[in-house]
Amino acid sequence: MSSGSRETYQTNELHVLTEVAKTLTAHQPLPELLTAVMARIVEVLEPAAFGVVLLWDPSEGVFRPQAMCGPDFPNLEALRQLSLQEGESVTGKVYAQGEAVILGHAGAIVTAMDNIRPANREVWSQALGSDRPLSSLVAVPLWASGYKFGVLILGTLFSQQAFSAKDMPFVQTLADLIALAIERARLESEALSVQEAERADQLRAEALATLSHELRTPLGTIKGYCTALLLGEISWSREKQHEFLQLIESECENLETMIRNVLDSALIDVGRLTLEYQPVRLERLAHEVVDEMQVLTNIHHIVLDFPADFPLVDADPARLKQVFRNIINNAIKYSPEGGLVVIHGQVRPPDVVISIADQGVGISPEDLIPLFEKYFRVKSPTGYHIPGTGLGLPVARAIIEAHGGHIWAESKVGAGSTLYFSLPRQGLSVTMEPDHA
Ligand code: ADP
């Protein structure tokens, strides 16, 4: 090489490296980044007629093309069907040996591809066409920080442009740049998963702290009234004793609902919420829950409104009772001034729809969006604390959806809320014996 042509060659190398480095610093997802860089290489590196980056997929144990470019080959995209095993063809061998190779003429390429499986050979000939044999190939393993990612392959079409040993250091530099970009993407995705795991841990710890606090609140009240009743030096009137016992009962009820929601929520998380279907009379279930709840409040009036011919549904009565408990309990809790709570049943074929309406504090449109999310609680504008875990509605939603139904809410701040849920009737035969007949 004369000193003039050596200089031109080096200037060209510098130009290619600058262009490739510029492309690699762009912030975009790895597949797009590699596609852009391959396009740049084939565009600016004169002898290369096509290039492909094949990455090792450890989950499937194969190499797959991740990015490719070769404007002279109209079917190059066919390479996407390539799936090379360990040690197979040029890619497999170069990756296994960890060393770059130059195949400087067509015969060397044929020999290096001797063990390629027929389906992959077919893909190659479809992609490159049989009328334009490659004059040379260079294949370089992609390594960074001790990780091997795959192989970069560049090919030429004309023998006068074939790759030779003098091209090797430069192609190696290109491969190192590409490997660094892949390593950067790997580290970014690792950092992201660590961040996500930390965030999930933090949320779990916060939720646990709130939960323990909320569970301790009714316990404190129960203990306080028990201590008062047991005080030897005070003799409480029968009415006072009755009042204390009622408060204890109400707090026990709260505690039971919360613990049941915590346990159900854990079952839902691990996908173990099971349903035991049977024919159910929803108005009867609602009635039972209303009886439980009405004794806990004398400022709320809870009424049922079901048509006489309300149909049976196929459902799990214990789980649906929990849904009624959670929603009616909320209707009472979030109506601190008292008022009417109306439970209405209607048939909207092919479903039945139940609504529970209260005259309480209501929910703003922004808070209606995350209402059914785990641990979501509306921040009280008055600062007045109403005990709760933020699990009642998510548990209700999981139970209703497991039945194939839907749950939703309508509300206006200061004007009360209505919670709705629908359940499919699932074509029950009317002759089936209901559990709560
Ligand atoms: P919690 O144990 O906090 O009551 P839920 O999941 O049952 O948990 O409800 C989530 C939040 O939704 C509650 O903290 C409350 O802010 C709001 N909410 C639920 N039902 C009503 C209602 N009927 N009226 C007003 N706000 C409600």
- Quick check: CB of 335 below 6 Å from ligand 1? no
Tell me, in angstroms, the distance from the centre of ligand 1 to residue 390's CA. 7
Nearest protein Cα to ligand 1, atom 19: 330
Amino acid (one-letter) located at 214: E
pLDDT in the model for residue 381: 67
Nearest protein Cα to ligand 1, atom 8: 390
Tell me, in angstroms, the distance from the centre of ligand 1 to residue 274's CA. 25
pLDDT in the model for residue 318: 93
Tell me, in angstroms, the distance from the centre of ligand 1 to residue 326's CA. 9
pLDDT in the model for residue 3: 47
Amino acid (one-letter) located at 330: N
Model confidence pLDDT, tens digit, residues 216-239? 888 988 999 999 999 888 888 999
Q: Give the torsion sign (CA, 236, 242, 246, 249).
A: positive
CB of 104 within 8 A of CB of 163?
Answer: yes
Residues in the chain: 437
Which three-class secondary structure string do you get for the chain? CCHHHHHHHHHHHHHHHHHHHHHHHCCCCHHHHHHHHHHHHHHHCCCCCEEEEEEEECCCCEEEEEEEECCCCCCHHHHHHCCECCCCHHHHHHHHHCCCEEECCHHHHHHHCCCCCHHHHHHHHHHHCCCCCCCEEEEEEEEECCEEEEEEEEEECCHHHCCCHHHHHHHHHHHHHHHHHHHHHHHHHHHHHHHHHHHHHHHHHHHHHHHHHHHHHHHHHHHHHHHHHHCCCCCCCHHHHHHHHHHHHHHHHHHHHHHHHHHHHHHHHCCCCCCCCEEECHHHHHHHHHHHHHCCCCCEEEEEECCCCCCCEEECHHHHHHHHHHHHHHHHHCCCCCEEEEEEEEEECCEEEEEEECCCCCCCHHHHCCCCCCCCCCCCCCCCCCCCCCCHHHHHHHHHHHCCCEEEEEECCCCCEEEEEEEECCCCCCCCCCCCC
- Quick check: CB of 416 below 6 Å from ligand 1? no
**Best CATH choice for the domain 278-436 from the list 3.40.50.150, 3.30.565.10, 3.30.390.30, 3.30.70.1230:** 3.30.565.10
Tell me, in angstroms, the distance from the centre of ligand 1 to residue 256's CA. 17
333, burial (CB in 10 Å: exposed 0-12, middle 13-18, buried 19+) = middle
CB of 261 within 8 A of CB of 389?
Answer: yes
pLDDT in the model for residue 158: 86
Model confidence pLDDT, tens digit, residues 318-344? 999 999 999 999 999 999 999 999 999
Amino acid (one-letter) located at 17: L
Question: Which tokens hold the place of 219?
Answer: 């316990």
- Quick check: CB of 326 below 6 Å from ligand 1? yes
120 alpha carbon, distance to own chain's centre: 35
Question: Which tokens hold the place of 131?
Answer: 């009328």
Fold equal for 3-192 and 203-269: no
- Quick check: CB of 140 below 6 Å from ligand 1? no
pLDDT in the model for residue 14: 81
Tell me, in angstroms, the distance from the centre of ligand 1 to residue 330's CA. 6
Nearest protein Cα to ligand 1, atom 7: 392
Q: At what angle do helices 317-333 and 392-402 cross, to 10 degrees?
A: 150
Amino acid (one-letter) located at 21: A
Query: Could you tell me which residues come within 8 angstroms of residue 197 by beta carbon, excluding any fewer than 6 positions away?
Result: none
The closest of 85, 26, 34, 81 to 56, measured between CA atoms, is: 85
pLDDT in the model for residue 109: 93
**Best CATH choice for the domain 3-192 from the list 3.30.450.70, 3.30.450.40, 1.10.1740.110, 3.40.50.720:** 3.30.450.40
Nearest protein Cα to ligand 1, atom 2: 388
CATH 1.10.150.120 describes domain 203-269: no
Amino acid (one-letter) located at 254: N
pLDDT in the model for residue 383: 61
Strand order of the sheet with strand 50-57? 62-69, 50-57, 147-156, 136-144, 101-103
pLDDT in the model for residue 232: 80
Query: Could you tell me which residues come within 8 angstroms of residue 342 by beta carbon, excluding any fewer than 6 positions away?
Result: 303, 305, 355, 356, 357
Give the residue extent of every domain in the chain.
3-192, 203-269, 278-436
Tell me, in angstroms, the distance from the centre of ligand 1 to residue 206's CA. 19
Nearest protein Cα to ligand 1, atom 4: 388
Q: Give the torsion sign (CA, 391, 392, 397, 402).
A: positive
- Quick check: CB of 375 below 6 Å from ligand 1? no
Question: Which tokens hold the place of 351?
Answer: 């479903």
Judge if pTM exceeds 0.75: no
Low-confidence stretches of the chain (pLDDT beneath 70): 1-11, 381-383, 426-437
Tell me, in angstroms, the distance from the centre of ligand 1 to residue 394's CA. 10
Query: Could you tell me which residues come within 8 angstroms of residue 344 by beta carbon, excluding any fewer than 6 positions away?
Result: 305, 306, 354, 355, 356, 357
